[in-house]
Structures are given as structure tokens and as C-alpha cells.
Amino acid sequence: MGEETSHEILDFLKGEKIPSIKEILESFEGSLFYHKLIAKENKIPNHFDEKVVRAYWIDKEL
């Protein structure tokens, strides 16, 4: 992961639309498990839903 990827994640968390965000987030194998777990526990079908991603990356409650 490079500096550009880090900026893209931060931009996404700030609310910007990042077309490649799914591919970027899938590259983090460790966090993928938690995205799926958070989504399942909150009955959210898409584990890359913005609410799920925010919950994982910035500890935001759903």
C-alpha cells in the first residue's frame, strides 16, 4: 500500500466518492474479516457499505 492509497482511504472517509475503494479495501486481508463481521452483526448486506467501513476505520458506532 502506498501513500496514494492512504490518501484515497482518507478521502473516502471524508465523504468523497472513490471509484476504486472496493479494490483498495479488499487488499487489506485482515480488515476484510471485520468488515464482514460488522455488516453481518448489523444486518447490512454489503460489507463495503460506507457505514460499515466507517465503523471499522474510525470506530464509529452504527
State the pLDDT confidence band at 41, using cuts at 50, 70 and 90.
Answer: very high
pLDDT tens string 18-33: 999 989 988 888 889 9
Cβ proximity of 33 and 56 under 8 Å = no
Domain boundaries, the chain: 3-58
Residue keyed to cell 486481508: 29
**pTM given for the model:** 0.70
State the pLDDT confidence band at 62, using cuts at 50, 70 and 90.
Answer: confident
- When pLDDT is averaged across residues 8-23 and rounded to a whole number, the result is 90
